Structure 1
Amino acid sequence: MEKNAKIYVAGHRGMVGSAIYRKLLNEGFTNLLVKTSSELDLRDQNAVTDFFETEKPEYVFLAAAKVGGIVANNTYRADFLYENLCIQNNVIHQSYKNGVKKLMFLGSSCIYPKLAPQPLKEEYLLTGLLEETNEPYAIAKIAGIKMADAYRAQYNCNFISVMPTNLYGYNDNYHPQNSHVLPALIRKFHEAKVNGTSVVNIWGSGSPMREFLFADDLADACYFLMQNYNEPGLVNVGTGVDLTIKDLALLIKSIIGFEGTLTFDSSKPDGTPRKLMDVSKLHALGWKHQIELEEGIKLAYRDFLSKHI
């Protein structure tokens, strides 16, 4: 990508999009194109058509999506399927129609079958049934991956797809009900410390294993792949390392300085026992994560303190 190329970052105010936007600024790109959802509703076909015909971006990072935790995914099943399909269809099709040189579509780890072998290889896509609670979102994301490949096959578009593992970092969501496990634990331990609570209770047994990638590392990988990857299919982006929820909780407890005790509520669901990405394809291309989990949690906690205190 040329430094003065017009680059559209869709979803620039979310955790992933904002990290990509910062990365491009830091690399010296000067012609970045962004729109808030109130300025441009990506679900609106006519609005997206007008935007692309007027602006003519040369490169597109498609990080915009309707997202949420398990409860939101399971409650608003129609919305998650319909709105994400609209966003993808509009942006990918208009990128083709308006001669975008390269587009990157960002997926989600829920695209893989619920009972796929571990670690998750790219070729496990569509080899089994999905997790029921977020199936509509997963189907939308799978459609986006297949759409990028179909436009490559039929129209020779250079559209690529990446599949991030669990993410955390700057601009994360710390909502008490809607946040994911790592930011939820940061908030829970912080509030327990501030309020002088002696016990923190954690959902589940603590035994499931999860992998976490700092969002700025994902942005670095996206930038690397935009420069170096031009193939169909998708690329997993992660660390290739996981840990139990219990060990994650103990690490966050230590970083925040909570001195009480932990209990685990085994009556609450554990979810999938393990969800680890196979990142050998990405490593073979020449990229590896830089920010280890302890350092990343410290950075995220500082960001949480700056915005929520």
Structure 2
Amino acid sequence: MNKQSKIFIAGASGMVGSAIIRNLVDKGYTNLVGSYHSRVLNEQKDLPLQMVQIDLKNQESVNLFFKTEKPDYVFLAAAKVGGIHANNIYPAQFIYDNLTLQTNIIHAAHQVQVKRLLFLGSSCIYPNQAPQPMKEKHLLTGLLEPTNEPYAIAKIAGIKMCESYNRQYGTRFFAVMPTNLYGPNDNFDLETSHVLPALIRKSHEAKLSGTPQVVIWGTGSPRREFLHVDDMADGSIHVMKLSDTDVDKHLTNYPSPCFVNLGTGTDCTIKELALLIKEEVGYQGEIVFDTTKPDGTLLKLLDVSRLDSLGWNAKISLENGIKSTYNWFIRKGVC
């Protein structure tokens, strides 16, 4: 991947896509194309970036884009995402939207013979009772967590589609499975967000209003691993830039998994997370747990040794990541 290669970032306006763009620009890449559906990337001014509006669920539109632009490399960062509440309310949209858009992109990338494609998955692909920490080999060894099963199945299908195209057509399509992401451009909507941005917003609003309590779903005992989105972008680009020898040996050599876990290898309880955020926000009230609500999976920690052996590990601590994310939240006036 040289600095002039045409690189397509599907989902460029989202938290993941925009972080990949920032990292690529910082590394000197100058020929970037990003897709958006309804929201243009706010930071695109003065960047070497062309933004194109595409309905990625429309196969004809996706095929036309790939035939016209003929990208060399593809980061498939587009997805419908949300927390436990959103997954419970919109299961049909989570499975349909993700299956449709990723299928369209992967097949179109094959048709125009892109050099490499990187699919962004999720740690929820692993069984609910997977051994901890979770290794790539644990995929499809047990039942999924019911609350996000539709989303997880879509992501598993994306992995298997990359693997199948590699086997049949000799493509170099592979994937990273990030743990829980957070950072700039995150979703802070309390109806659809993940736990960390939701806690930032709840704590901030409670501080401003003087609310004596912040209520959190579950018991606070589940443990979660959190990865700053800028670390995710750096790790993803590291994987995309691996040598052909490493790619063919580690990622496209069936039946070896065509994906690697992307995380920190460390976790904390939801209660510990809430207290970290409370301190950073400066909220003086009480954290209360609603034990009538579900916890989700009790333990989700990735084994990151495979990616570590390929020369990459996370750099941003959770404390520093929360601080920078809250500062971004304040600057942007998200509330």
Where does the alignment leave 5 or more consecutive residues of structure 1 unmatched?
none
Q: Distance in 1 between matches of 2:79 and 2:289?
A: 33
Q: Distance in 2 between matches of 1:87 and 1:50?
A: 14
1:262 alignment partner AA: I
CA apart distance, 1:173: 0.7
1:304 partnered with 2:304: no
Among 272, 282, 290, the residue aligned to 2:307: 282
Among 204, 217, 226, the residue aligned to 2:218: 204
1:32 alignment partner AA: L
Deviation readout 1:166-188 (Å, 9 max, x if unpaired): 00000011112211111111111
Among 279, 283, 293, the residue aligned to 1:268: 293
1:257 partnered with 2:282: yes
- 2:172 — aligned with what? 158
CA apart distance, 1:262: 2.2
1:126 partnered with 2:151: no
Deviation readout 1:178-206 (Å, 9 max, x if unpaired): 11111111111111111122222222211
CA apart distance, 1:34: 1.3
Deviation readout 1:35-54 (Å, 9 max, x if unpaired): 22152111111111111111
1:16 alignment partner AA: V
SS in 2 for 1:241: coil
SS in 2 for 1:264: strand
Are residues 134 and 262 of structure 1, via their aligned partners in 2, closer, same or farther at CA, if it must alter by over 3 Å? closer
State how 1:1-309 maps to structure 2 within 5 Å.
Answer: 1-38=1-38, 39-228=53-242, 230=247, 231-232=251-252, 233=257, 234-307=259-332, 308-309=334-335
2:331 alignment partner AA: S
CA apart distance, 1:244: 0.8
1:18 alignment partner AA: S
CA apart distance, 1:208: 0.9
CA apart distance, 1:33: 0.7
Moved more, 174-183 or 255-264: 255-264
Q: Distance in 2 between matches of 1:176 and 1:79?
A: 18
Q: Distance in 1 between matches of 2:128 and 2:322?
A: 27
Moved more, 260-269 or 39-48: 260-269
CA apart distance, 1:113: 0.7
Q: Distance in 2 between matches of 1:35 and 1:146?
A: 24
Q: Distance in 1 between matches of 2:160 and 2:217?
A: 35
1:255 alignment partner AA: E
CA apart distance, 1:302: 0.8
Give the RMSD, CA atoms, in angstroms. 1.2
TM-score normalised to structure 2 length = 0.90
Q: Distance in 2 between matches of 1:257 and 1:236?
A: 34
2:295 alignment partner AA: D
1:57 alignment partner AA: P
State the percentage of identical aligned residues. 60
SS in 2 for 1:167: strand
Q: Distance in 1 between matches of 2:275 and 2:35?
A: 40
Structure 2 contact 86–191 (Cα < 8 Å) conserved: no
Moved more, 290-299 or 188-197: 188-197
Q: Distance in 2 between matches of 1:209 and 1:141?
A: 22
Q: Distance in 2 between matches of 1:178 and 1:87?
A: 20
Q: Distance in 2 between matches of 1:53 and 1:201?
A: 50
Structure 1 runs of 4+ off > 6 angstroms?
A: none
Moved more, 193-202 or 117-126: 193-202
Structure 2 contact 13–35 (Cα < 8 Å) conserved: no
Deviation readout 1:99-151 (Å, 9 max, x if unpaired): 10000001111111111111111000000111122212111111110110111
SS in 2 for 1:91: helix
CA apart distance, 1:259: 1.8
CA apart distance, 1:75: 2.8
Where does the alignment leave 5 or more consecutive residues of structure 2 unmatched?
39-52
Q: Distance in 2 between matches of 1:148 and 1:93?
A: 9
